[in-house]
Amino acid sequence: MAVDAQATDTHPDAEADADVIVTDDLTKIFEGRGGRVRAVEHLSLRVRRGEIFGLLGPNGAGKTTTVGMLTTRVIPTRGRALVGGIDVVARPATAKQVIGVVPQTNTLDRSLDVAENLYFHGRYFGMGAREAHDRVRGLLEQFRLADRATAGVDELSGGMAQRLMVARAIMHDPDVLFLDEPTSGLDPQSRLALWDVIGELHRRGQTIVLTTHYMEEADQLCERVAIIDHGRLLALDTPEALKKSIGADTEVRIHASGDLEALARELEQVPGVDSARVVDGTVYAYLRAGGATLPEIITHADRKGFALQDVGVKETTLETVFIDLTGRELRE
């Protein structure tokens, strides 16, 4: 039982300087009684130092499996992944030194109090007692948990527990902080508070990879977003570029009775309508900037004999991009 195959204290890969995460053809296939599940396929991406990188996709898209592979807990079936220049498959014990993880569920140590959760985490990562104590004090202040230092972790609210998990994950100053669905299950207020925390970490230079199925979260927080579905990377760019890529800047949602497919086809005839399609009983029409206007669409539909029940207009979002790529909505 060897520790890691190779142990050095310098990073072997020059590419680590610019890209803190590199994956090549990363693939995970689960073989179970229910058959083969291709959780992640041929994922090749790079995350730059200091950026907030989002993995956006519906539940079951392969986001958590991807994070699992990058954080040594899921063994890839194929492909390669480097974090901080360290191969996570060949040298997991070394790679774990540069990784901080906030998992999806509350994995705080129930046998320890709030401060001890941070303190022992620091010790696991080789901090001395004094250094760990000092760092705990600073983090408890920073994360507004100082008055809860000796509380049991079961006494914390959802938002506090999540903040403590983030504090724990950065206790050892990792190269990359992974946040797996960090705000799911939080109330709106706690969600905004956590967005602030994440933004602040980013300003301090922390590289962050977060997974989410909330498109607002990806849009608001992330500098670049990878859209993933069925284990495959569908698109990767800044939120602005992704939204621009669909060639429209306004989305019109129409609830109507009758043949919706026919309505969509009709709407596509209106000058300035980029495209129209039916998704889950709603007609979506995408309008180019300075093109068709809402009254023109309504008039056209009316003239063709369609009874519109409800019409909504908004700017295109990452959700629009997802629908454009997959023909499905992002929400589960």
Partner 1 sequence: MSNAGITAVKPAHASSRSAFAALLLRDLAVLRKEVWMFLGRTVMQPLLLIFVFAYVFPKIGEAIGGAAGAARFSTLLVGGVIASSMIFQGVQAVALPLVQDFGYTREIEDRVLAPMPVWAVALEKVASGAIQAVIAALVVFVLATFIPATPVHLSIHWFYLVTILPLSAMMSAALGLTIGTRVEPRQVPLIFSLLVLPMTFLGAVYYPWQGLTPLPWLKWSVLVNPLIYLSEGMRLSLTKGVPHMPVAAVYAALVAFTAVFSKLGIDGFKKRVLS
Least CB distance from residue 146 to partner 1, whole Å? 18
Note whether 188 binds partner 1 by CB under 8 A: no
**Candidates 114-122, 214-222, 240-248, 276-284; binding stretch for partner 1 (CB under 8 A):** 114-122
Number of residues that bind partner 1 (CB under 8 A): 55
Positions 26 through 65 that interact with partner 1 (CB under 8 A): 30, 50
Least CB distance from residue 203 to partner 1, whole Å? 11
Distance CA 135, CA 141 (A): 10
Note whether 173 binds partner 1 by CB under 8 A: yes
Write each residue from 67 to 106 as x if it is in contact with partner 1 (CB under 8 A), else as -, in one continuous string: -x--xxxxx--------xxx----xxxx-xxxx-x-x-xx
Hey, what amino acid is at 202? H
Return the closest-CA partner of residue 83 out of 143, 36, 13, 147. 13
Hey, what amino acid is at 62? G
Return the closest-CA partner of residue 59 out of 231, 210, 179, 221. 231
Least CB distance from residue 124 to partner 1, whole Å? 4
Least CB distance from residue 271 to partner 1, whole Å? 51
- Please list, in sequence order, all residues whose beta carbon lies within 8 angstroms of the beta carbon of residue 115, skipping any fewer than 6 positions away: 136, 140, 149, 150
Distance CA 43, CA 155 (A): 40
Note whether 155 binds partner 1 by CB under 8 A: no
Note whether 9 binds partner 1 by CB under 8 A: yes
Note whether 314 binds partner 1 by CB under 8 A: no
Distance CA 294, CA 192 (A): 33
Strands ordered across the beta sheet of 207-212: 99-102, 176-180, 207-212, 52-56, 224-229, 232-237
Would strands 35-48 and 207-212 be described as parallel, antiparallel, or unpaired?
unpaired
Note whether 18 binds partner 1 by CB under 8 A: no
Give helix 260-268 / helix 294-303 axis angle, nearest 10°: 120
When the beta carbons of 83 and 264 are compared against partner 1, the nearer one is 83
Applying CB under 8 A, which residues contact partner 1?
A: 1, 3-4, 7-11, 16-17, 30, 50, 68, 71-75, 84-86, 91-94, 96-99, 101, 103, 105-112, 116, 120-121, 123-126, 168, 170, 173-175, 204-207
